[in-house]
Amino acid sequence: MTFDAEFFNIGYLDNLSYKDTFVHRLDPRVKLLVSFIFIMFVVSFPKYDLSGLIPFFIYPVFLLTAGDIPLRAIAKKVLFVSPFALFVGIFNPLLDTDVLLTLFGIPISGGWISFLSIIVKFILTVSTALLLIAATSFLGLCEALERLKLPRIFVIQLLFLYRYLFVLLEETFRMLRAKDARSFGKRGSEIKTFIRLISILLVRTVERAERIYQAMLSRGFRGEIKVLKRHRLRFQDLVFVVSSIGLFYLFRNYNIVHILGEVVERSLR
């Protein structure tokens, strides 16, 4: 059942984010910013540029290894997500058949290159997003968003959602188990049943929200939630920002792959 898989996945990534490594200790704002800039650099490559993207693997690899995050957890996720990008990309080889280059006598069309470039971009951006959350606790990210001046109510909303996500998922799981125990074979997944299930879940959710509100009131809630500031910008944060952005800039403007390849080839001759 995919339900378990999804459920444990959130929990798993959440657990990873409580490790204590160099990457985990960096200010969440810094990680968010650098990751976003990284993605901007990656997607700024034109569609036929494949080689220029390769050096960019260094950033996810850095987060992965320095953050002590198991490769399998990330790789599995990356392999299974977003059929949409693949669906859109797969038409490129069919529609763009102009030969762009020949490798060992095999002609390679522009479509295949742009398709591969979509795949590489996809792997880079998706793994970075996952690694970001695996290397930063969700609370840390919310703190970062708040300090980056996003509206407070949005941040509070995120915190609430995250806090009650696990609770509601468990509740849903109980309801589904009860439903499964009462239905055989394919029965029990009709739209009518589904509407009832969702409705009951909705009513229970609203009632839970009312209880939460009462509980908050009795603890002195006055429409304001303070987000704890736990991080300060330190020297190593600055070093991280400057060096990684500098590196991205270098990779973007000089095709390292190309330069290295030519040097090697010349020395081979």
Partner 1 sequence: MHMADALLSPAVGGTFWAGTLGAIAYAAKKLRENLDDRFIPLMGVLGAFIFAGQMINFTIPGTGSSGHIGGGMLLAILLGPYAAFLVIASVLTIQALFFADGGLLALGANIWNLGIYPCFIAYPLIYRFIVRNRNTPSRITIASILSVVFGLELGALSVVLQTKISGITELPFGTFVIVMLPIHLAIGVVEGFITAGVVNYVRTLRPDIIEHVEGVKALSSSVSMKKIVIVFAIFTVLAGGIFSWFASTYPDGLEWSIEKIYGKAEIPERQTPVSEILSETQKKTAILPDYSLPSAGKGEEKPSWPSVDTITSLSGLLGGIMVLAVVVIFGIGIKVIRKLRRT
Q: In angstroms, what is the minimal distance from the CB of 203 to partner 1?
A: 5
Q: Which is nearer to partner 1, 46 or 229 (CB)?
A: 46
Q: How far is the CB of 150 from partner 1 (least distance, A)?
A: 7
Supply 121's token pair: 């971009």
Q: Based on CB atoms, which residue is closest to partner 1, 25 or 258?
A: 258
Q: Is the Cα dihedral 66, 72, 78, 79 positive or negative?
A: positive
Q: How far is the CB of 266 from partner 1 (least distance, A)?
A: 9
CA 176/CA 181 separation, integer angstroms? 8
Q: At what angle do helices 28-43 and 235-253 cross, to 10 degrees?
A: 0
Closest CB 241 distance from partner 1, rounded Å: 15
Return the amino acid letter for 165. Answer: L
Query: In the complex with partner 1, which residue's Cβ is closer, 118 or 227?
Result: 118
Return d(Cα 169, Cα 68) in angstroms, integer.
28
| Distance in Å, CB of 133 to partner 1, minimum | 4
Instruction: Please name every residue paired with 108 in a beta bridge, in sequence order, or none if there are none.
Output: 101
Query: What's the chain's length in residues?
Result: 269
Nearer of residues 223 and 232 to partner 1, judged by Cβ: 223
C-beta of 22 vs 230, nearer to partner 1: 22
Strand partners, 246: none
Beta carbons within 10 angstroms of residue 44's beta carbon: 11
